């Protein structure tokens, strides 16, 4: 692994290595594996968890971090191209973490970068480190060595986390995927569902069969104003009463009204643990990218 742009950049073996290294990072979340290194965190789009966890992951590995979160204060605001910024910053640091509104930004960056580029979510296309932390959470909660039914609910069209995770889960033969999208917000055609099922059922009818329920918010910022569709489907306590006792409720966060706070007290709610796993996964990914880079 050098750059991590698309979840498909990782072989099955590399995915296993990331997950195993992640559990080692979880046991010992401080080390000096990256002492003397510098990581650039370039965020051209808002972020809380991803930016913070990459920053803290690098710091816990002993590296220093250069962060650009507010592009208004950088030359990007003067019209500098992404390629020029990456070439220059790449000359100063050992790895670049990039979030950007354009789906092809991380790939474009990788063409010109002298150091490894890690995609921290670009456009609606891909968010590979989120997929890895989601997979790690599923492995920790359920195991991956037996059949699982995973349901995705909400805005599936614009959710890069769903696109990356769905692709990753297709590698596991026992995992069946079900999609419960809001009207007009189904999986894009560019994300063929492969061996998985495109499901017409309502979530209320299918909930009892699911082992994992992955909920997403409506990504209003990716839609024309006023075209936000119907009110989001919600995870309610009533819905959870019909679910398995060991269902795992996941959400990449931030949440809006689709996941009310009443659900937090339910032991099946895994989203804060999921967010915490992001730190360990990003430590593993940074370490692997720097070793290869």
181 binds ligand NCD (CB under 6 A): no
Size of the site for ligand NCD (CB under 6 A): 11
- The one among 130, 140, 166, 196 contacting ligand NCD by CB under 6 A: 130
d(C-alpha 55, C-alpha 60), whole Å: 9
Q: Is the dihedral of CA 160, 161, 162, 167 positive or negative?
A: positive
**Residue number with CB closer to ligand NCD (90 or 252):** 252
What tokens were used for 280?
């360990």
Angle ∠(133,235,154) on CA atoms, nearest 5: 65
CB of 221 to ligand NCD, least distance (A): 9
**Residue number with CB closer to ligand NCD (206 or 281):** 281
Within 8 A by CB and 6+ apart from 150, the residues are: 138, 169, 175, 176, 177, 178, 210, 211, 212, 214
Query: End-to-end distance of the chain based on CA atoms, in angstroms?
Result: 8
**Residue number with CB closer to ligand NCD (50 or 137):** 50
Within 8 A by CB and 6+ apart from 276, the residues are: none
166 binds ligand NCD (CB under 6 A): no
What tokens were used for 220?
């209003």
- The one among 121, 123, 128, 151 contacting ligand NCD by CB under 6 A: 121
**Residue number with CB closer to ligand NCD (7 or 90):** 7
Binding mask 57-96 for ligand NCD (x = CB under 6 A): ----------------------------------------
Q: Which residues bind ligand NCD (CB under 6 A)?
A: 49-50, 121, 127, 130, 160-161, 217, 219, 252-253
């Amino acid at each position: 692994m050098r750059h991590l742009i698309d979840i498909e950049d990782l072989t099955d073996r590399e995915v296993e290595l990331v997950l195993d290294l992640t559990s080692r990072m979880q046991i010992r979340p401080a080390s000096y594996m990256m002492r003397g290194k510098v990581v650039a965190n370039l965020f051209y789009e808002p972020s809380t968890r991803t930016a913070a966890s990459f920053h803290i992951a690098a710091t816990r590995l002993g590296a220093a971090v250069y962060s650009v979160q507010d592009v208004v204060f950088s030359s990007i605001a003067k019209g500098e191209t992404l390629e020029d910024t990456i070439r220059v910053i790449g000359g100063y640091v050992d790895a670049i973490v990039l979030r950007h509104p354009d789906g092809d930004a991380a790939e474009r960056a990788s063409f010109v970068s002298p150091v490894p580029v890690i995609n921290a979510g670009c456009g609606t296309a891909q968010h590979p480190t989120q997929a890895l932390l989601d997979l790690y959470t599923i492995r920790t909660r359920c195991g991956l060595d037996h059949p699982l039914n995973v349901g995705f609910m909400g805005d599936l069209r614009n959710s890069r986390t769903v696109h990356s995770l769905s692709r990753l889960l297709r590698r596991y033969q026992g995992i069946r995927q079900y999609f419960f999208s809001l009207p007009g917000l189904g999986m894009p055609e560019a994300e063929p569902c492969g061996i998985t099922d495109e499901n017409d059922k309502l979530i209320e009818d299918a909930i009892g069969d699911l082992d994992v329920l992955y909920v997403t918010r409506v990504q209003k910022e990716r839609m024309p104003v006023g075209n936000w569709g119907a009110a989001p489907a919600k995870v309610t306590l009533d819905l959870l009463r019909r679910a398995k006792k060991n269902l795992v409720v996941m959400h990449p966060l931030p949440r809006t009204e689709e996941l009310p706070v009443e659900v937090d007290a339910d032991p099946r709610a895994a989203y804060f643990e999921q967010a915490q796993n992001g730190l360990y996964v990003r430590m593993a990914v940074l370490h692997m990218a720097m070793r290869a880079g």
